[in-house]
Amino acid sequence: MEKSCFHLILLITALLILLHEFNETLMPLLCYENTVLQTGEWWRLLSGHLIHLSWTHLILNLASLWILAITLFQNEKSLTLLLYIFMLATGISFGLLTFSPDIAWYVGMSGVIHGLIVIGATTNFRSNPGIAVLLIIGITAKLLWEQFYSGSHAMEIAIGGKIVSDAHLYGAVSGVIIISLLKLIPLLKYSHNKSFVQHGVLKD
């Protein structure tokens, strides 16, 4: 794993553990809550993903984050990974706010984790196509199951609350959007430079 990426995951781990130590006080102030968001408390778009229902909830998300960092993002720069997390968290919150207004509140990084799986599998497709395909099939099957049959009751008992499957869906969709943008930007840059060459502004 890139040293800077390791330090970032270590920092995120420390931050999430520290926040959970004061969970009872911070939960009402930081959780995603749609009615309060609409009054201007926009920090909840991000902070809601840093708060967890229980230690089990936190440990499961941190374990998933570390596994992804070690397996799919081992060569990623810390700033890039941080940007992914920021964009995914924001995308999930806007998804909940826009398309799932009936979901009053949400906490946890599971939606972000789903988005990172999509990004990691796609960006590693050339180097590990077999693993990438299995991950995409697996996460697609999981999302479909959750949408039609809801989440695991046993898992809900373990984490201490209801699983918000829509957050998982919006995380995956946000991951697809991010990957699409990453593919689109070089194409736009190439098209822009080609246009300059054709007009004699740049030379090959």
Per-residue confidence in pLDDT tens, the chain, 204 aa:
777 788 999 999 999 999 999 999 999 999 999 999 989 999 999 999 999 999 999 999 999 999 999 999 988 999 999 999 999 999 999 999 999 999 999 999 999 999 999 999 999 988 889 989 999 999 999 999 988 886 677 788 888 888 999 999 999 999 999 999 988 876 554 454 554 445 454 444
Radius of gyration of the chain measured on its C-alpha atoms? 19
What's the predicted TM-score (pTM) here? 0.89
Q: Please report the pLDDT score of residue 187 as a whole number.
A: 55
Cα 121 from Cα 175, distance rounded (Å): 10
Q: Please report the pLDDT score of residue 175 as a whole number.
A: 97
Domains along the sequence of the chain with CATH: 3-198 (1.20.1540.10)
Cα 65 from Cα 77, distance rounded (Å): 15
Q: Please report the pLDDT score of residue 193 as a whole number.
A: 53
- Phi-psi bin for 162: left (phi > 0), alpha (psi -120 to 50), beta? beta
